[in-house]
Amino acid sequence: MIQVLWRPVVAIILGFVLLGSLACTESFSRLTKAPQYSEDEFAAQRRRLVESLKEQGISKRPVLEALLKVPRHKFVPPTYRHLAYENRPLPIGHDQTISQPFIVGYMTEMAEIASGETVLEIGTGSGYQAAVLAELAKEVYSIEIIPPLAENARNLLREMGYQNVQVKTGNGYLGWPEHAPFDAIIVTAAPDEVPQALVDQLAVRGKMVVPVGSGFQQMVIVTRNESGVVERRTIPVAFVPMVDKPQP
């Protein structure tokens, strides 16, 4: 597993270096004319991206098919749309990012989502991860703490025909107890420890995929069974912090 994933880990780190560089040159990029691609050209770029993700270790066919189907460029601001199918995170405003495609594929694959299942996502962002999840699950419930992002994602997902996704503005630490238990939970921001409220809302035999850490972060796979939970740490990652942790 380590041999399979070492190149993606380097890509993750490089992606965030490039993201910082992009942020520093945003004003310049607006002064230069970015390439304009047709839908057919975007589709070809998406196919090449998915092929590269297969080489990096994303192997489950339903996940690859979902990544191939969802048009990532529609979830990227116009300034960066020409970069939508490069394997890197990109800014989406409000100091947030759309995750690197490898990470989206990796988290989705680790969650082991089956058709007919219900999924909770913490951190809607632009809605891209929710769209990928919606291709696999029966129902997706997604929480975004930043109101403008929640509203934009809700409208975009509705326009794209994703009727099995509900987005609400709220604190992800609290989860969405009205719709629990969830067969899978994916968290796209990093708490300093696994939130207990989310563990409580995870179904027996369900999996939660969450980046954990306040400095150095690792992806943690939480599996709930009849007797408790099992945590497994996998790859190093770099996510924006999960904010508004409730005080004891």
Active-site residues: which are they?
99
Distance in angstroms (rounded) separating the CA atoms of residues 31 and 25? 10
Enumerate residues 6+ apart whose C-beta is below 8 A from 124.
130, 142, 143, 144, 149, 150, 153, 167
Q: How many angstroms separate the CA atoms of 37 and 18, rounded?
A: 22
Q: How far apart are CA 41 and CA 26, in angstroms?
A: 24
**Which one, of 113, 115, 91, 86, lies nearest residue 102 by Cα?**
86
How far is C-alpha 102 from the geometric centre of its chain's CA atoms?
Answer: 10
Alpha-helix runs per DSSP H in 92-220: 101-111, 128-134, 147-159, 196-200
Q: How many CB atoms lie within 10 A of CB 21?
A: 9
Pairwise CA distance, residues 18 & 235, whole Å: 20
Cα–Cα distance, 142 to 120 (Å, whole number)? 6
What Cα–Cα distance (Å) separates residue 52 from each residue in 7, 75, 102, 236, 237?
11, 20, 9, 20, 19
Q: For residues 128 and 170, give the distance between their C-alpha atoms in angstroms, rounded to a whole number.
A: 18
Reported residue count of the chain is 248
